[in-house]
Amino acid sequence: MVTPCCVIQGRTSLRGDIAISGSKNAALPILAATLLTDQPCVLHNVPELTDVANMLEALRLLGAEVISVGPRSWSICAKDVHTDARNPVVQHLRASVCLLGALLGRKRSASVAMPGGCKLGARPIDLHLRAFHRLGAQVHQPTGYVSLQTDYLTGTVLSMLGPRGPSMTGTSNAVMAAVLAKGTTVIRHASREPEIASLCRMLNQMGARITGLNSGTLIVKGVPFLHGTSFTVPPDRIEAGTFIILGYLRGTPVRVHGLTPQFLTENFQGFFDAIPSARRHSFFHDGAFEVHRIEDLPGLDICTLPYPGFPTDLQPQISVLASQAISASRVRDTVFPQRFAHIPAFRRLGIQAKVEHDTLHLAPHSTLHSGEVTATDLRAGAALYLAGILADGSTTVFRPDYVDRGYEHFEEKLQKLGAELTRLS
């Protein structure tokens, strides 16, 4: 039996066109939000990912009718659903926590298995549970799952500010629980991530009354019911950032489709601020964002922050780019300070890196070579693919299933650009 892996032949220059898929982090809470109405919701541009497949299966197990109505399009009707989501599918999906807010909002009850997902250090859901309690729910945590129960929900004032900034999934949960509550809910220190705005726009199309999008304070005026809608999932900014970084590494050039100047302005300000020379090597041309290799990259000094700062989900990928700079770089992660489990794999491929507390120090001009490495999480897995493309010789990346969770047809897109790789399973 062959252990699943991807074998990458390195030192290939990349050239060509790829299209960015729908956003994983937007699609998952949007899928959960279909539980808030008994009418059909039709979602378009839903990415083909294992996390999305698991969320669709979780909705089916709750009793929703889930039907494919075209490529990347799904019709979901949660007319008759129950509230018990304690099953293995939910246990392996971090975003399954969003089922709590949707079920509580619609059914006033929920029993959901504790969420899984990538291991990025402590990721408690205490902010979520506190918000539910403030809205009027009784919260119980028996071993392995969360149970919520209430006769009715009442608007309140609550905060989504955690020790490392606003909680994105906590904000999603609070909004979904509040849209059908009595009265007005004010969510202070709400996450400003674009994925939250997408969720709120969809809910407003369904009849919700949410204002303050992108402001950090969401005001949710409860309504009696929500109706169905049709909604298109926006492009995935993390996938886009990964391919843009790849273009800076090996592009001759790489042309990224599916983005607009407005999308880049809204989603990539912190990204481009962190890479001073980036704008000279990437620009819009003939409807695509064209990215060229940066030959003499100055050392980078990056600090991940909640939106609109540099995203933590691009920290491993940008570290590969920083390893090729002409002077030393440092990458600090304030969102997930323990997000450095991939560094031993980096070192195995020749990246000279040292971790001190929440900061990664990278020596300049690392010469990457072949090796066998194992992905430790979704974004680290993508970074190892980038490193393998950059390295001399043949690199084997084990646990490619991590990458499947968040990148649609990642290997096929890399091959389309000229990368030489083979998936073994």
Active-site residue set: 118
| Helix 24-33 × helix 237-250 angle, to 10° | 170
The C-alpha torsion from 399 through 400 and 405 to 409, rounded to 10°, is -170
Tell how far CA 416 is from the center of its chain: 23
Tell how far CA 60 is from the center of its chain: 23
HSE-CB for 424 with a 13 A CA cutoff = 13
**What does the alpha-carbon distance between residue 30 and residue 24 come to, in Å, rounded to a whole number?**
10
**Residue 51: partners with Cβ closer than 8 Å, 6 or more residues away:** 24, 28, 93, 95, 405, 406
The C-alpha torsion from 403 through 253 and 343 to 413, rounded to 10°, is 10
**Residue 163: partners with Cβ closer than 8 Å, 6 or more residues away:** none
Six-digit token pair at 22? 């729908």
**Among candidate residues 320, 302, 329, the one with its CA nearest the CA of residue 368:** 320
Do 407 and 49 touch, CB atoms closer than 8 A?
yes
**Residue 295: partners with Cβ closer than 8 Å, 6 or more residues away:** none
**What does the alpha-carbon distance between residue 218 and residue 290 come to, in Å, rounded to a whole number?**
36
